Amino acid sequence: MILRKLAKTVGALGLACGMTLSAANSYAEDDTIKVGVLHSLSGTMAISETTLKDTMLMLIEEQNKKGGLLGKKLEPVVVDPASNWPLFAEKTRELISQEGVDAIFGCWTSVSRKSVLPVVEELNGLLFYPVQYEGEESSRNVFYTGAAPNQQAIPAVDYLMNDLEVKRWVLAGTDYVYPRTTNKILAAYLKSKGVKESDIMINYTPFGHSDWQNIVSDIKRFGSAGKKTAVVSTINGDANVPFYRELGNQGISAEDIPVVAFSVGEEELSGIDAKPLVGHMAAWNYFMSVDTDENNQFIDQWLAFIEDDKRVTNDPMEAHYIGFNMWVKAVEKAGSTDSDKVIDAIVGVEVPNLTGGTSKMLPNHHITKPVLIGEIQEDGQFLTVWETEGLVPGDAWSDYLEGSKDLISDWTAPISCGNYNEMSKKCVGATE
């Protein structure tokens, strides 16, 4: 399956490059607004990110059908950072300094975002980041349209604890900043709820990890202590395929030790046999199976664009949908693509999401989102089993970590700070 994914990726890269060259030749430079698309089209993260590149091409095409933006056509500039974290920074500098893009939509992993962050701040660019992340960050130049921990990880643990009565916890993740920080927050949260340290198992594996036999055996042994056990998974990329396969090989069902994943969606499930995964869960802010007019229209638009009725939609695609529409609305409001003007204009902007409501850009550059827990079905879709009553505002700083719980982010006057300490009334380590 992975080989087939990689083969598709190579083809997607050629298509992306061709579309970029075609767009560049179609419009004079002065008549276009360039939009950077920064997603891995090769390497371990291509399984997740290639679809996000396609999503951006679709959104840009649809906006051009509406007349473009400020009387100009939008021109996608697609690059491939190839799941190489330093290359993300290099490609970002290329997009802003050489290509002159007015906004960048991209990244998946937090390590790639961390690589890009100093470049967009130095060059005063704009990055719209569409994937759930660990929080503990705020930048004037970044808009976090994926979930913060309080919009995914904390509600998922609450569901497992309250509805499934889980007592023992396996925090399994890929070895980089997002899983490590998220698990640090979750461990602190669990302990605040009275969970003993001996009832928390934490494990990390490299990107692309494939040999899960010993780790799954350890999980099985940890779950045999007579207490209800669950796995909270921050495993990213193609390592998920052999992980779930090994769970099935060792006879671990969702009834025995349920897994709730933060990085497994419809795209990751589309190329594997989902039957052994039935009953395991994921926590997201969107599922393809959500039945709303907005979502049905989006799915129809996607299938028509991609010309493959077997392709699926997923949460980060919705985040790009929201972020792109917010950027368009802020540019129209500002009457300019100038970064400073867009940053000022975008706070308070509201656009429809795909779950039947609207999402709002907050002063901390996070958005409001619903939280959904879904069970995996045989067809690779999710059945929603729990959701928040309303929208949850994204929180940049965790309430459960020392050094963070007193911090807020607010990029509007008079605070204009990403690390504002509410106790000392001072901005800590951030500038306007």
CA–CA separation, 85 and 77 (whole Å): 19
pTM of the model: 0.88
Residues 168, 241 within the same domain: yes
- 313 within domain boundaries: yes
Give me the CATH number covering residue 20. 3.40.50.2300
Residues 207, 355 within the same domain: no
Give the domain range for residue 140.
2-148+291-370
Alpha-carbon dihedral angle through residues 260, 261, 266, 271, given to the nearest 10 degrees: -100
Antiparallel, parallel or unpaired: β 417-421 and 426-427 = antiparallel
- 416 within domain boundaries: no
Which neighbouring-strand residues pair with 33?
74
Residues 195, 329 within the same domain: no
Residues 107, 245 within the same domain: no
Tens-digit pLDDT profile for the chain (432 aa)? 333 333 444 344 444 444 444 433 333 446 899 999 999 999 989 988 999 999 999 999 999 999 999 999 999 999 999 999 999 999 999 999 999 999 999 999 999 999 999 999 999 999 999 999 999 999 999 999 999 999 999 999 999 999 999 999 999 999 999 999 999 999 999 999 999 999 999 999 999 999 999 999 999 999 999 999 999 999 988 888 899 889 989 999 999 999 999 988 998 888 778 887 899 999 999 999 999 999 999 999 999 999 999 999 999 999 999 999 999 999 999 999 999 999 999 999 999 999 989 999 999 999 999 999 999 999 999 999 999 999 999 999 999 999 899 999 999 999 999 999 999 999 986 443
Give me the sign of the Cα torsion angle 53, 54, 57, 63: negative
Chain position carrying tokens 């569901």: 159
- In 107-266 the beta strands, taken as DSSP E runs, fall at 127-129, 142-144, 168-174, 200-205, 229-234, 259-261
Which neighbouring-strand residues pair with 368?
393
Residues 280, 198 within the same domain: yes
Which neighbouring-strand residues pair with 170?
201, 231
CA–CA separation, 45 and 6 (whole Å): 10
Query: What DSSP character marks residue 130?
Result: -
Q: What is the mean pLDDT of the chain?
A: 92
Q: Give the CA distances from residue 341 to residues 92, 288, 336, in Å, rounded to whole numbers and listed in that order.
A: 21, 34, 7
Q: Are 116 and 140 in contact (CB under 8 A)?
A: no
**Could you tell me which residues come within 8 angstroms of residue 127 by beta carbon, excluding any fewer than 6 positions away?**
92, 103, 104, 105, 106, 107, 113, 116, 117, 120, 141, 142, 143
State which H helix or E strand residue 36 sits in. Answer: strand 32-38
- 192 within domain boundaries: yes
Residues 207, 299 within the same domain: no
Residues 315, 328 within the same domain: yes
- 246 within domain boundaries: yes
CA–CA separation, 384 and 283 (whole Å): 10
Q: What is the pLDDT of residues 331-346, one digit of tens each?
A: 999 999 999 999 999 9
Residues 305, 273 within the same domain: no
- 349 within domain boundaries: yes
Q: What is the pLDDT of residues 172-221, one digit of tens each?
A: 999 999 999 999 999 999 999 999 999 999 999 999 999 999 999 999 99
Residue closest to 200 by CA, chosen among 214, 188, 209, 217: 188
Alpha-carbon dihedral angle through residues 284, 285, 287, 292, given to the nearest 10 degrees: 170
- 405 within domain boundaries: no
- 426 within domain boundaries: no
Residues 29, 160 within the same domain: no
CA–CA separation, 291 and 122 (whole Å): 42
Residue closest to 176 by CA, chosen among 113, 118, 269: 113
Q: Are 229 and 170 in contact (CB under 8 A)?
A: yes
Residues 241, 280 within the same domain: yes
Residues 276, 299 within the same domain: no
Report how many domains make up the chain: 2
Amino acid at 73: K
Instruction: Residue 44: count other Cβ atoms within 10 Å of its Cβ.
Output: 22
- 419 within domain boundaries: no
pLDDT for 30:
67
Angle between helices 240-249 and 213-222 (to 10 degrees): 60
Residues 388, 255 within the same domain: yes
Q: Are 165 and 412 in contact (CB under 8 A)?
A: no
